[in-house]
Amino acid sequence: MYEHPAAPLPAPRVLTQPMAMELLTADLAVRVDTTVGYDSRDPHALSVAFHLLGEEPVVWRVDREMVLTGSLRPTGDGEVQLCPAPGGGLLLSLGPAGGRAVVRCEQEALARVVRETFVLVPQGTEERHLDWGPLLASLRT
């Protein structure tokens, strides 16, 4: 069986940006240090790592285009939802219904990171950065 030779993958491109966010509770907002990351090998997603006291970071994956949409209007379904916050912020609701954490971040700071990801991997070229080999190999067995 003939197999079309795969084009070589571009070199991985990684971006990390420390960012302060606030965990919102019923009574107050608690500052949480986070790191927003991007790896071109997972070209559609940002990682948001929440650095909690003495624990391993809690990491959530968020679609990069969803962040842009969420800064304009509510978006998302299930365990990840975003919407504009009063005062120009962005609210991230993370987790299942009844156990959701709501985090506020500076919308412009997060949007700046997303714009940088589109420089690294332009919209519409994401599939060129995915390594389909392991998936295809698993389907053959």
Alpha helices in 84-130 (DSSP H): 107-120
Domains along the chain with CATH numbers: 14-134 (2.30.31.20)
**What does the pLDDT read at residue 54?**
78
Has residue 86 got a pLDDT over 80? yes
**89 and 102 Cβ atoms separated by less than 8 Å:** no
Sheet holding 75-77, edge to edge: 58-63, 45-51, 29-39, 14-24, 101-106, 89-94, 80-84, 75-77
Q: Residue 7: is it exposed, middle or buried by C-beta count within 10 angstroms (0-12/13-18/19+)?
A: exposed
Cα 91 from Cα 87, distance rounded (Å): 11
φ and ψ of 4, to 5 deg:
-65, 130
Structure tokens at 130: 């995915």
Could you tell me the pTM of the whole model? 0.84
Has residue 3 got a pLDDT over 60? no
Give the model confidence (pLDDT) of 9-25 as tens digits: 888 899 999 999 999 99
